[in-house]
Amino acid sequence: MINATDLYGEEADDDPLRAEFERARTLLEGDEWWRGLDELEALAHRGSMLSTISVASCMLEGWGYAQDLPGAEGWYGVAAESGFAAGLCGLGLTHIRMGRFSDAFEDLQQAVSRNYLPAYDALAYLYSQGLGVQKDPRKALSLWRSASSQGHLTAMRNMHWALIHGYGGLSGRIKGFWDLIPTAIEIAKARRVTPRGYKGRWPVSGA
């Protein structure tokens, strides 16, 4: 059974339809994924913000739907307006896909201010590439480190990749290579709760 807290943090407790969401979300990961998607849509229309975010994620990735960025933006916006940091982060990811990097930067900054760890990772990507903000590899590395220190494995992997690509100098390259494989193993073990949405692998360039 999917645990909503694993996916969306403590905000999961704010959804009164959490138990129904978890059952539907579990179906989405199995052979009867279409039933899970139908149930998530129904729950979203009943006001389940967790379901709203999952439907938006599927639209963002074109999983079970044709990719629909405006649709994803709309669904994520509903969750964001309801106070869900995961909705803000989803908006940021959608705006990145749309090429609206300034909007993405604002969305992700708000989500980071709520300490939503996946947003640290995405915001670090914007800083690393200079998208919607002046390029700042040090700030990117700081964000990846902050999320890593709180146990976010994807940010940890991306931090290692950034170090390998020169963000921390020679010593950083050595540490990046040394730590990357153990982190990749941990990510593989945690793959059971990976949503059909953000895959968490950003390209990084040298500092």
37-69 exposure pattern, b = at least 16 Cβ within 10 A, e = fewer: bebbbebbeeebbbbbbbbbbbbbbeebeeeee
Residue 80 inside a domain? The answer is yes
Domain endpoint, select from 99, 114, 129: 114
**CA 108 to centroid of chain Cα atoms:** 10
Residue 12 inside a domain? The answer is yes
- Cα gap 132→58, rounded to integer Å: 25
Please check the confidence at residue 62 and state whether its pLDDT lies above 60.
Answer: yes
Residue 129 inside a domain? The answer is no
**Nearest-5° Cα angle at 124, 119 to 5:** 25
Domain endpoint, select from 48, 83, 114: 114
Residue 130 inside a domain? The answer is no
Number of domains in the chain: 2
Mean pLDDT of the 125-135 span: 95
The closest of 121, 76, 114 to 95, measured between CA atoms, is: 76
pLDDT at 207: 28
Same domain, 161 and 97: no
Domain endpoint, select from 81, 114, 147: 114
Mean pLDDT of the 167-193 span: 56
Same domain, 13 and 81: yes
Same domain, 105 and 145: no
Mean pLDDT of the 53-68 span: 92
Identify which has the larger pLDDT, 172 or 119: 119
Range of the domain at 163: 137-207
CATH number of the structural domain spanning residue 90? 1.25.40.10
pLDDT at 107: 97
Residue 39 inside a domain? The answer is yes
